[in-house]
A and B are shown apart, each in its own frame.
Chain A
Amino acid sequence: MVWLRRNLFSTPFNSGLTLLTLYLLWLAIPPIVDWLFLQATWSGESRAACEPNEGACWAFIDARFNQFIYGLYPSEAQWRVDLAFILLGVLFAGFFIPGVRRSWIAVLILIPYPLVAWILFSGGSWGLEEIDTAQWGGLFLTLVIAGVGITASFPLGILLALGRRSNLLVIRSISIGFIELIRGVPLISVLFMASVMLPLFLPEGVNFDKLLRALIGISLFQAAYMAEVVRGGLQAIPKGQTEAAESLGLGYWRTMQLIILPQALKLVIPGVVNTFIALFKDTTLVLIIGMFDFLGIVQAATTDPNWLGTAVEGYVFCAAVYWLFCFSMSRYSVSIERKLDTGH
């Protein structure tokens, strides 16, 4: 009661605002709840099943769920995708087991895991049936692009940031040139170049996978942004830190690895996560080079004649899933920041 009076009804004006807000919420919430849950249809074979009810047609999501997750990946091979993600989950769980060396897990995730995952996904060896990347899609494809983009752009961005501050003219010029060039063009054009123009420059017969090209394009693009975020952190570290490390006999790489980067990266966690979240959502742009990521496949499904008129449900579902992933990243970064705080 005291809290109510102090925070919501402290002056007549504030009381008025509180009442107005309550009224607006009363107007808005019940219809939303109605649409989302009470009047919704949860299962059915086509849009017709939803006709009798006023609310959302979740039957559409239910019917197409498998496709939203795996795209056109053949259903008899979907266990391979599941296995790869379970493997990743198990490796990540290792971070929380006390006594296990974190660096070992990191090495496992960065080196053998991507190879294993690639073989599981695309097949062609170990007696697995080959599955063309054109059949990959849905949330699975989104996670592959985002995962590769994040793990590749982060180290690359750090190297570019260090390069841009280097005393060596050649390295500095290359870094600045790369960053400014990539940052100056939209991601869409980078993707177009990777998928349409690159094959024109390659000799006849040499052709590598469209997905791989998109992955390289996205990684390079985000690395340029990451570089500038990291550079902001590097600049915030006093020069005395480098001098102290060097006067102890540490070389350039050791100084960066042990002294400067741990402090600089800690400072830029919010900016880095910001870039990760942007990257996660930018993966939807692969739609324009003909790949069906999560948003793309949902969008395509809404044009199915059996399900016409379910676009709103599709987009709401999409938004909820994207939000869930992005919000988890944000929460995770807050917990890391708290853990690394040493009070300086």
Chain B
Amino acid sequence: METKMIEMKGVNKWYGDFHVLKDINLTVKKGERLVVCGPSGSGKSTMIRCINRLEEHQEGQIIVDGIELTDDLNHIENVRREVGMIFQHFNLFPHLTILENLMLAPTWVRKMPRREAEEKALYYLERVKIADQALKFPGQLSGGQQQRVAIARGLCMEPKIMLFDEPTSALDPEMIKEVLDVMTELAEEGMTMICVTHEMGFAKTVADCMIFMDQGQIVECSPPAEFFENPKSERTQLFLSQIL
């Protein structure tokens, strides 16, 4: 039997009176790649932000790599160590160089010696093809480069799961490809990934499973071939006809 990396059971979440997540049930196996799409405000980002507890859920269970997310701070920190997250606005640390951005978490969280952390950082910068920018500050890089640095920063912690929250939405069109290439490469290596994105070309090549969300619910969950060729719900058909 394949290992379950993420399990969400009957998850509900409210912002005040607003019901953002309605009875979410989702299982992600090791090495599985999920792409989540849906109109804005449908709860996609909120859902993946619950997985590393950047948002709290009020009902149901979320179990990540065998650890249940509760108020217990130790659990939360243990989960966050194993789950990397990429944000729409990169969120690099502007007061640190690229290299320091990458070395920060391994040295402070994993207590790795500086030398080793630096080697690891340079290795991942090489992989996202910007090792030559290591000593610059984030503000001196283009959007696409910053997002690749953010991915490398996540990878330096050698996470078991990577979450992508609209990683290309803030980028100029000509920079989207360089980021998607890095993500595709990562997917091919077997990383467990959940991506919230509207890049349907990317979704078709890498996704094992497509999820469509609307008004806080998972409306559809099926392999890409089926999802794009004959979606079950009308809502999905309408959405696809608008974006494709």
Interface flags for B124-138 (1: CB within 8 Å of A; 0: not) read: 000000000000011
Alpha-carbon separation in the docked complex, A249 to B150 (Å):
15
Contact present for B81 and A249 (CB under 8 Å): yes
Interface flags for A251-269 (1: CB within 8 Å of B; 0: not) read: 1001000110011001000
Residues 50-70 (chain B) with a chain A CB within 8 angstroms:
52, 54
State which of B84-92, B184-192, B193-201, B236-244 sits at the interface with chain A.
B84-92
B137: which of A238, A249, A343 is its contact (CB, 8 Å)? A343
Residues of chain B contacted by A266 (CB below 8 angstroms):
95
Contact present for B94 and A248 (CB under 8 Å): no
Residues 78-112 (chain B) with a chain A CB within 8 angstroms:
80-81, 83-85, 87, 89, 91-95, 104-105, 108-109
Interface flags for A329-344 (1: CB within 8 Å of B; 0: not) read: 0000000000010111
Contact present for A251 and B89 (CB under 8 Å): no
A249-B157, A250-B105, A258-B104 given; A342·B89 CB < 8 A: no
A308 contacts the other chain (CB 8 A): no
Interface residues on B, range: 20 to 34
Alpha-carbon separation in the docked complex, A165 to B227 (Å):
45
A249: which of B54, B94, B105, B140 is its contact (CB, 8 Å)? B105
B139 contacts the other chain (CB 8 A): yes
B91: which of A244, A340, A344 is its contact (CB, 8 Å)? A244
Contact present for A247 and B80 (CB under 8 Å): yes
Alpha-carbon separation in the docked complex, A251 to B74 (Å):
10
Contact present for B105 and A248 (CB under 8 Å): yes
A243-B54, A266-B95 given; A248·B137 CB < 8 A: no
A305 contacts the other chain (CB 8 A): no
Measured CB to CB, the closest approach of chain A to B53, in angstroms, equals 8
A247: which of B85, B108, B139 is its contact (CB, 8 Å)? B85
A52 contacts the other chain (CB 8 A): no
A45 contacts the other chain (CB 8 A): no
A54 contacts the other chain (CB 8 A): no
Contact present for A247 and B84 (CB under 8 Å): yes
Chain A, residue nearest B137 (CB): A342
Residues 220-251 (chain A) with a chain B CB within 8 angstroms:
238, 240-241, 243-251
Extra pairs beyond A241-B93, A246-B54, A344-B138 (9, CB < 8 Å): A240-B87, A243-B85, A244-B85, A245-B93, A247-B80, A258-B108, A259-B93, A262-B95, A344-B139
